[in-house]
């Protein structure tokens, strides 16, 4: 049997009064553990978060108002842990013995007023020597440069490597040096039979590329041997004056247009289809960056060469649907490309000749034309004579690179600026403000 107790003397006001008393208590029970209660005056003793390295300015940190979903997903005490905090003081880590060194670049850059950001060449060569990982992984390192100062923060071993590259720029050759580049094509790769005794093999990492070194006297004998062959063509021989460590970009490109497709005409009823053409830039892009040793007895050369050739345009017939169910046959072109890439660093004695074989590449089958446009001025490396009209012939392409000495005594032209030979166009010659892409190291 259930008992029901009635209290008729209980007033409604007395029932409401305890609810008022307990309401603030229940509200404070829902506050985070580390949130001070009203009137306590801030953080509790023993809960200070001041770091000896990182100091924050509370007035500079914007307040963070988390959403209800984020507060439900994580404890409210960690809501502000991911807020970026400005630093008023910073100490660089030196657990691996890192220390700060500033190198003066003025002796090198003061004579290069016409070159934009000449200090970039120093950074490029440092990264080529050290690799890029040592500056982005542990231990922490910093590499930065402007026109007057090179700043390096790293351990002693890395500082020694940087100092060696720095010396080659600042205390090395400040006068532009002359380099000879010669491109030759040979119809049959059996030229190696007689030339083997004149040269010795060198290391080449690029697939399909072979490298040799030979004294300059043997280089002259090698050229005389090639001239006795009927399948040899000397495409071009050029001399370039380059500042030590700086890059020289040369390019010779031409456009090949072809009919890519037919698209439906959405602006008019006739013609129902519009032909769409496309363009391929074929030719050479060559980038060289030499760096002489302090004594001038060896040369480091970063060579980057990109070749894109249209070997042929394949014609394909397609049927376009027309009104009255009468399809119309049209022809489009599918390009057949031949591309070759070389990006490698070579080091050899300056009194020898570097010979590179690029492998068997496409060669012309039509009658030789002296210029790209049919004129009388030869183009860069005989570009028009290398880009084939068909795929009927292949030849072995050879590139000879020779250090000749100071440009003031080896070249007849003025060395005030980049040398522009007939048909030779420096990269960005038509757009000097175009950014320079340095690619990978």
Please compute the mean of the pLDDT values over residues 335-349 and round it to a whole number.
90
**Local confidence band at 81 (pLDDT 50, 70, 90 cut-offs):** low
User: What pTM value is reported for the model?
Assistant: 0.65
Which pLDDT value is given to residue 30?
45
CB 164 within 8 A of CB 103: no
Tokens of 39: 């009137």
SS3 state at 48 = coil
Q: What is the mean pLDDT of the chain?
A: 75
Query: E strand or H helix at 361, and its extent?
Result: strand 352-362
SS3 state at 311 = strand
Please compute the mean of the pLDDT values over residues 247-267 and round it to a whole number.
88
SS3 state at 402 = strand
Least confident of 86-100, 309-323, 361-375: 361-375
CA 126 – CA 134 distance, rounded (Å) = 11
What's the count of helices (H) and strands (E) in the chain, helices before strands? 9, 14
Tokens of 350: 């300056």
CA 244 – CA 404 distance, rounded (Å) = 13
Neighbours of 283 (CB within 10 A): 22
Please compute the mean of the pLDDT values over residues 36-51 and round it to a whole number.
42
**Local confidence band at 266 (pLDDT 50, 70, 90 cut-offs):** confident
Across the chain, which distance is largest between two alpha carbons, in Å?
131
CB 287 within 8 A of CB 248: yes
CB 332 within 8 A of CB 316: yes
**Local confidence band at 413 (pLDDT 50, 70, 90 cut-offs):** very low
* Percent of the chain residues topping a pLDDT of 90: 44
Which pLDDT value is given to residue 429?
37
Please compute the mean of the pLDDT values over residues 316-328 and round it to a whole number.
88
Residues whose CB is less than 8 angstroms from the CB of residue 70 and which lie 6 or more positions away in sequence, other chains included: 79
Which pLDDT value is given to residue 105?
95
Nearest to 260, CA basis, from 239, 277, 237, 240:
277
Neighbours of 22 (CB within 10 A): 9
Residues whose CB is less than 8 angstroms from the CB of residue 283 and which lie 6 or more positions away in sequence, other chains included: 251, 252, 253, 254, 307, 308, 383, 387
Which pLDDT value is given to residue 80?
58
Residue labelled with tokens 């404890």? 75
């Amino acid at each position: 049997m259930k008992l029901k107790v009635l209290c008729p003397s209980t007033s409604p006001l007395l029932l409401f009064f305890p609810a008022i008393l307990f309401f603030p208590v229940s509200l404070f029970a829902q506050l985070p553990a580390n949130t001070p209660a009203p009137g306590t005056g801030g953080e509790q003793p023993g809960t200070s978060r001041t770091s000896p390295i990182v100091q924050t300015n509370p007035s500079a940190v914007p307040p963070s108002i988390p959403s209800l979903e984020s507060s439900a997903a994580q404890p409210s005490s960690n809501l502000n842990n991911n807020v970026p905090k400005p630093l008023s003081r910073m100490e660089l880590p030196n657990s691996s013995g890192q220390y700060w060194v500033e190198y003066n670049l003025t002796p090198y850059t003061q004579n290069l007023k016409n070159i934009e950001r000449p200090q970039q060449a120093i950074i490029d060569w440092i990264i080529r020597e050290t690799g890029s990982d040592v500056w982005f992984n542990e231990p922490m390192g910093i590499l930065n440069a402007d026109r007057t100062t090179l700043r390096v923060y790293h351990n002693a071993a890395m500082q020694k490597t940087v100092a060696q590259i720095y010396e080659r720029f600042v205390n090395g050759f400040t006068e532009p040096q002359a380099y000879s580049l010669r491109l030759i094509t040979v119809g049959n790769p059996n030229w190696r039979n007689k030339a083997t005794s004149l040269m010795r093999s060198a290391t080449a990492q690029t697939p399909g590329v072979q490298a040799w070194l030979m004294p300059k006297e043997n280089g002259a004998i090698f050229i005389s041997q090639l001239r006795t062959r009927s399948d040899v063509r000397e495409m071009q021989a050029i001399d370039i004056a380059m500042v030590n460590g700086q890059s020289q970009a040369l390019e010779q490109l031409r456009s090949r247009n072809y009919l890519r497709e037919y698209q439906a005409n959405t602006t008019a009823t006739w013609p129902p289809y519009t032909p769409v053409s496309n363009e391929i830039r074929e030719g050479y892009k060559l980038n060289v960056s030499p760096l002489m040793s302090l004594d001038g007895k060896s040369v480091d050369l970063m060579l980057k060469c990109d070749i894109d050739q249209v070997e042929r345009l394949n014609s394909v017939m397609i049927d376009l649907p027309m009104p009255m169910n009468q399809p119309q046959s049209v022809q489009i072109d599918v390009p057949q490309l031949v591309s070759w890439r070389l990006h490698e660093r070579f080091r050899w004695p300056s009194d020898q000749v570097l010979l590179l074989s690029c492998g068997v590449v496409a060669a012309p089958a039509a009658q030789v034309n002296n210029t790209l446009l049919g004129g009388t001025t030869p183009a860069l490396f005989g570009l028009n004579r290398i880009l084939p009209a068909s795929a009927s012939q292949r030849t072995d392409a050879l590139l000879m690179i020779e250090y000749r000495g100071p440009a003031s005594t080896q070249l007849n032209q003025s060395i005030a600026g980049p040398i522009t030979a007939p048909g030779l166009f420096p990269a960005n010659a038509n757009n000097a403000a175009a950014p320079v892409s340095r690619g990978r190291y």
